[in-house]
Structure 1
């Protein structure tokens, strides 16, 4: 049987800021809400969201014999997450200014997994970092880390929404589990709803991906007149305004230090890069997902006559 307190200790040693432990079960309420969102077409062009719905909300279908979910979170808040000057037209989501979190968090999870297997040689399971159909935000709430905010993100009392998640789904039971975070602490605040430039934050705590700037700059090529509000990769508009983020500390894990400063870079800087310069600056970051050509196109969309106004 896994030692609950030892899991928390080993997660901290691996570099995580938060760790919660939950029994593996079917998250039926989350699945019902997700299916309703799909039925409304909230996924728009993100067809992959329509696959493996059953697995997404039941980790026992992803790992045979799964008993315990260890949900880890690490803060990544940096200066870009506190917002950009009003007239900045080449905004980058703050998470994308660091080394790709998939690689960093997987390394941290495997360190934790190896430490657990040292104490429990027969332990088996899998590590997940946003690369499989797993409802990690709902699982994090189940593990007591926070609640699902009005902007559909996990909100943690300590670090707001500026956290990245990773999970271990394990085959042993733990000697104790965290209490699910049942309280919603958004209250009557609607700052994220009001801050979204395109009205993508829906009333039921979901996102209309057809409107979402993050999707428009990364996942799909938008219409020529689509509002990007100065963003060229991702969007933090619904996060930088959140009271829980305004009071959150900057990240403390050096692995999430930014590798470039988007606040110091304008359109001329980005457009003046060739592929070699882009690779040298951004090759370890999530920006490689869209690539320099797409970033240039997003810059063009932000500067066309009659396009989004400079705020």
Structure 2
């Protein structure tokens, strides 16, 4: 019989910063999620409206599911200084290796090891792409508590976390939830700092979020949001940067960062991006989660960021490029 302690040790041996186990139960947020979809707050992320019954109940993802093993990697680049002039900013999670590959490889290895210990049960690894509320289950497993910005916050190491899970038919004892207290209290720093007013307490309007606009929104971006986007060209970290739980010393912040996420590219020269061809894009994003951003999207984002930069900076070469830019 498989024991929770064995599972936790195995996950820790594979380098995960946080590990916990919870029961595979139907989501407690089903009505809120359905209302969120009804309000069109998912924007163009139409897949979120697909397989809702599976997303809300892990037993529809893995028949006979009993337990969910939740894991988290710590990221958060130490390279968080102001980017050089004329550069577009990249969210920290995308500055290093592609978390999908980094996490899924290890989760598959863990699944293989668990099958050796327990051949009668099923184990399915999930990292972001499966219809599973990883954040909700991670909170239930004690990895953290969900903050007002809807991100999982561990009160000792903050919210710079990549989440993954293994859904299994094995019966495992749930871990104690030591993170079940409200991590925010009266704090509203994330809400106040969001340039597009996308955040309300424990809810994010995805259609307004800069991360959504720069990564998931495929069509033209509403000019209403252009100025608020600043120089972000892939993702946004503002609501995490202002969070008190992330205001730790540089040494503490970096101590538990998984090496695969160490910063390789924290920003990109806007003029270079505007001059890219498809091969340039592929070379720049090789091995990165940014590779899902198409060339036209990156250049759209770079053009917006360039106009925002030129509003307060003099750069004749970039100005000439933007003046003749197709958009």
TM-score scaled by structure 1?
A: 0.90
Deviation at 1:307, TM superposition (A): 8.6
Deviation at 1:212, TM superposition (A): 0.8
Change (3 A) 1:308 1:238: farther
State the secondary structure of the residue aligned to 1:165: strand
Which residue number in structure 2 is paired with residue 17 of structure 1?
17
Which residue number in structure 2 is paired with residue 123 of structure 1?
121
- Verify the 8 A CA contact 2:230 2:308 in the aligned structure 1: no
What is the alpha-carbon distance in structure 2 between the residues aligned to residue 6 and residue 61 of structure 1?
26
What is the alpha-carbon distance in structure 1 between the residues aligned to residue 151 and residue 128 of structure 2?
14
What is the alpha-carbon distance in structure 1 between the residues aligned to residue 50 and residue 238 of structure 2?
29
Which residue number in structure 2 is paired with residue 229 of structure 1?
230
Unaligned runs of 5+ in 1: none
Larger Rg: 2
Which residue number in structure 2 is paired with residue 249 of structure 1?
253
Q: Which moved more, 1:239-248 or 1:162-171?
A: 239-248
What is the alpha-carbon distance in structure 2 between the residues aligned to residue 94 and residue 246 of structure 1?
15
Which residue number in structure 1 is paired with residue 8 of structure 2?
8
Q: Which moved more, 1:269-278 or 1:111-120?
A: 269-278
Unaligned runs of 5+ in 2: 314-327
What is the alpha-carbon distance in structure 1 between the residues aligned to residue 101 and residue 69 of structure 2?
18
Which residue number in structure 1 is paired with residue 263 of structure 2?
258
Change (3 A) 1:199 1:230: same
> How many residues matched?
305
Structure 1 counterpart of 2:213, from 216, 219, 230: 216
Q: Does 1:296 align with 2:295?
A: no
Deviation at 1:158, TM superposition (A): 3.0
Change (3 A) 1:210 1:2: same
Q: Deviations over 1:100-155 (max 9, x none)?
A: 11111000101211221222122312111011211111011111111111111111
Alignment of 1:65-144 (within 5 A): 65-80=64-79, 82=80, 84=82, 89-144=87-142
Change (3 A) 1:47 1:277: closer
- Verify the 8 A CA contact 2:210 2:235 in the aligned structure 1: yes
Change (3 A) 1:43 1:244: same
- Verify the 8 A CA contact 2:89 2:266 in the aligned structure 1: no
- Verify the 8 A CA contact 1:142 1:180 in the aligned structure 2: no
Change (3 A) 1:176 1:134: closer
TM-score scaled by structure 2?
A: 0.86
Which residue number in structure 2 is paired with residue 37 of structure 1?
36
What is the alpha-carbon distance in structure 2 between the residues aligned to residue 17 and residue 308 of structure 1?
42
Alignment of 1:126-165 (within 5 A): 126-165=124-163
Deviation at 1:22, TM superposition (A): 0.6
Deviation at 1:208, TM superposition (A): 0.9
State the secondary structure of the residue aligned to 2:33: helix
Deviation at 1:14, TM superposition (A): 1.0
What is the alpha-carbon distance in structure 1 between the residues aligned to residue 239 and residue 257 of structure 2?
23
RMSD over aligned Cα atoms? 2.3
- Verify the 8 A CA contact 1:225 1:301 in the aligned structure 2: no
Deviation at 1:2, TM superposition (A): 2.1
Deviation at 1:68, TM superposition (A): 0.9
What is the alpha-carbon distance in structure 2 between the residues aligned to residue 175 and residue 267 of structure 1?
51
Q: Which moved more, 1:82-91 or 1:148-157?
A: 82-91
State the secondary structure of the residue aligned to 2:204: coil
What is the alpha-carbon distance in structure 1 between the residues aligned to residue 78 and residue 203 of structure 2?
27
